[in-house]
């Protein structure tokens, strides 16, 4: 039975990692740190923390959807000194 709970926990971690654009290991570490601060060690409490973080992240990403799009646009803009850069074959 614990493997099913662990599978759900990993799935939640993967969704959180995807929304935060970080690795699954980094998402798990983030959850582990929060669990350690609260003194929680079992998988069910970590899963609850992961679900809470996931819900908060989804809510924030929906409200900041335009901000994320703008951030990507800013990252893709060429810098002034790189505008005429060409890669030669």
Number of domains in the chain: 1
Phi, psi of 39 (to 5 degrees): 75, 25
Cα of 70 vs its chain's centroid, Å: 18
First-residue to last-residue Cα distance in the chain: 56
Give the per-residue pLDDT at 16. Answer: 92
The secondary structure of residue 42, as a DSSP letter, is S
Phi, psi of 67 (to 5 degrees): -65, -40
Q: Does residue 81 sit within a domain?
A: no
Give the per-residue pLDDT at 4. Answer: 58
Helix, strand, coil % over all residues of the chain, rounded to 5:
80, 0, 20
pTM over 0.75: no
pLDDT tens across 27-81, in order? 999 999 999 999 998 988 999 999 999 999 888 877 766 666 667 777 777 666 6
Q: Does residue 55 sit within a domain?
A: yes
Give the per-residue pLDDT at 1. Answer: 45
Q: Does residue 83 sit within a domain?
A: no
């Amino acid at each position: 039975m614990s493997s099913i709970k662990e599978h759900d926990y990993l799935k939640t971690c993967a969704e959180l990692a995807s929304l935060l654009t970080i690795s699954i290991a980094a998402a798990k570490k983030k959850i582990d740190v929060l669990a350690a601060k609260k003194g929680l060690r079992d998988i069910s409490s970590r899963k609850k923390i992961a679900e809470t973080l996931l819900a908060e992240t989804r809510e924030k990403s929906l409200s900041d959807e335009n901000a994320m799009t703008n951030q990507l646009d800013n990252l893709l803009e060429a810098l002034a000194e790189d505008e005429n850069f060409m890669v030669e074959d």
